[in-house]
Structure 1
Amino acid sequence: MPSPAPTLTVNRCATPDPCTLPASHPTTNGELHLQLERTEAAWARCAAEVEAIIACHHSAAADMQAAPEATAVEEQAPDEAQGH
Structure 2
Amino acid sequence: MNQIRGALLADAESGSLARLHLDPAVHREAERLLLATDSLPLPTLDALHIALAFSGRASHVLTFDRRMREAAVQAGMNVIDI
State the TM bucket, normalised to the shorter chain: under 0.3
- Could you tell me the TM-score, scaled by structure 2's length? 0.21
- Could you tell me the TM-score, scaled by structure 1's length? 0.20
Larger Rg: 1
Name the one with the larger strand percent.
2
Q: Higher relative CO (CA 8 A, sep ≥ 6), structure 1 or 2?
A: 1
